[in-house]
């Protein structure tokens, strides 16, 4: 489900970093996501005493919060370009209320969303292949940008709402690669990497600007359910899954507030870099814990790539992700102590 959002905004960031080599970054991100899923990094909850046992939960909180901000910002940029920050804030607030009320994306609804997004992807591919590409300047990216491209694509393959089974994950990665290839063919790496709303510009370049309404619907399907899933995941990292609505609202507040602030003050590409750093931090920490329990090829691969890819990200993005994870760890530990007492 998140791969659709990855095509909307992650692809532009990847192409800006690596040009045509972004396709290699897409494949590398898929390898890390596949290894992480096979290793089971997303399962398990910390229940033992000791604040360090809450560190994986804090890292997942950072990943969920930053992803919620990114998806909401993407929605605002595409659907309400005149007031993107306001639109993003409304989406986050609505998702937080829905989460507190116990609303979830059911498997039935997920299948419908994925099916509609696949139809939108097929339509985009058909439009891009039907119209001859407009010649443009050659891309500036190269193989040196593959690591950065993989980093910014990874949250959409392994974040909350992404498939936790290997074969659906592989299918999502293949579909994303197909759309990315056609988009690069039609717009070229320079124009595709210019802005976080490059898919809208791509339709205009393909003389399909009249499909703007359908694009807005596809953007809503690709982002709004993901915001709900991301906020739910970040809230669970802090407070588990209480049955009482009020008890759910309290741990949901930090993630929602931070996501609103990020969407209001940061450009979409900056949030993308923070989400990439937070997602890689989450998968690295969780797989390091797994590595102590059992060594497998999947876990070792996830640790190596999870430690290597952040080197391509700006230091400030990594710092913000670490601070978010530290905040999540502290809140999770405080709530654990409160429940124990």
pLDDT one-digit tens code per residue, 213-247 = 888 899 999 999 999 999 998 888 886 566 556 66
Q: Domain total for the chain?
A: 1
C-beta separation of 143 from 308 below 8 A: no
| pLDDT bracket for residue 103 (50, 70, 90) | confident
Which has the higher per-residue pLDDT, 95 or 244?
A: 95
pLDDT confidence of residue 76: 95
Q: Which of 96, 11, 119, 37 has its CA nearest to residue 287? A: 37
Task: Average the pLDDT over 11-39 and give the result.
Answer: 89
Name, in order, each residue with C-beta under 8 angstroms of 90's C-beta and a sequence gap of 6 or more. none
Lowest-pLDDT range of 10-14, 72-76, 197-201, 267-271: 197-201
Rounded to 10 deg, the angle between the 315-340 and 245-265 helix axes is 170
pLDDT at 149 over 50: yes
**How buried is residue 123: exposed, middle or buried, by Cβ count under 10 Å (0-12/13-18/19+)?**
middle
pLDDT at 84 over 80: yes
Rounded to 10 deg, the angle between the 268-293 and 297-308 helix axes is 140
Rounded to 10 deg, the angle between the 55-79 and 315-340 helix axes is 120
Task: Average the pLDDT over 265-287 and give the result.
Answer: 94
pLDDT one-digit tens code per residue, 247-263 = 666 777 889 999 999 99
Q: How many CA atoms lie within 13 A of 22 on its CB side?
A: 35
Backbone angles phi, psi at 287, to 5 degrees: -75, -25
Task: Average the pLDDT over 258-277 and give the result.
Answer: 96
- What whole-number percentage of the chain has pLDDT above 70? 86
Task: Average the pLDDT over 329-338 and give the result.
Answer: 78
The residue range of the domain holding 196 is 2-340
pLDDT confidence of residue 54: 79
| pLDDT bracket for residue 47 (50, 70, 90) | very low
Which has the higher per-residue pLDDT, 296 or 98?
A: 98
Which has the higher per-residue pLDDT, 33 or 136?
A: 33
Name, in order, each residue with C-beta under 8 angstroms of 144's C-beta and a sequence gap of 6 or more. 18
pLDDT confidence of residue 46: 45
CATH number of the domain within which 8 lies: 1.20.1740.10
C-beta separation of 74 from 223 below 8 A: yes
Q: State pTM to two decimals.
A: 0.91
Distance CA 192, CA 30 (A): 21
pLDDT at 280 over 90: yes
pLDDT at 206 over 70: no
Start-to-end CA distance of the chain, whole Å, equals 40
């Amino acid at each position: 489900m998140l791969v659709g959002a990855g095509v909307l905004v992650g692809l532009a960031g990847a192409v800006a970093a690596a040009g045509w080599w972004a396709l290699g970054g897409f494949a590398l991100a898929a390898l890390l996501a596949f290894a992480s899923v096979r290793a089971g990094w997303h399962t398990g909850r910390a229940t033992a005493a000791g604040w360090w046992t809450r560190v994986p939960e804090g890292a997942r909180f950072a990943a969920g919060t930053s992803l919620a901000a990114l998806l909401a910002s993407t929605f605002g940029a595409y659907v309400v370009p005149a007031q993107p920050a306001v639109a993003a804030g409304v989406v986050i607030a609505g998702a937080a209320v829905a989460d507190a009320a116990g609303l979830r994306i059911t498997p039935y609804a997920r299948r419908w969303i994925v099916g509609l997004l696949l139809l939108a992807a097929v339509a985009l591919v058909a439009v891009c292949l039907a119209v001859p590409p407009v010649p443009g300047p050659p891309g500036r990216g190269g193989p040196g940008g593959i690591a950065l491209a993989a980093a910014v694509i990874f949250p959409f393959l392994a974040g909350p709402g992404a498939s936790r089974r290997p074969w659906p994950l592989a299918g999502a990665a293949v579909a994303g690669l197909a759309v990315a290839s056609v988009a690069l063919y039609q717009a070229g790496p320079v124009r595709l990497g210019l802005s976080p709303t490059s898919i809208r510009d791509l339709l205009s370049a393909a003389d399909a600007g009249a499909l703007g309404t359908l694009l807005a619907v596809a953007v809503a399907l690709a982002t709004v359910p993901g915001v709900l899933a991301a906020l739910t995941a970040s809230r669970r990292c802090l407070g588990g899954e209480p049955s009482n609505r009020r008890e759910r609202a309290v741990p949901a507040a930090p993630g929602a507030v931070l996501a609103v602030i990020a969407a209001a003050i940061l450009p979409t590409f900056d949030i993308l870099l923070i989400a990439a750093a937070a997602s890689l931090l989450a998968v690295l920490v969780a797989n390091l814990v797994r590595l102590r329990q059992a060594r497998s090829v999947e876990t070792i691969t996830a640790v190596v790539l999870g430690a290597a890819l952040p080197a391509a990200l700006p230091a400030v993005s990594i710092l913000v992700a670490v601070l978010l994870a530290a905040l999540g760890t502290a809140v999770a530990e405080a709530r654990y102590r409160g429940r124990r007492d």
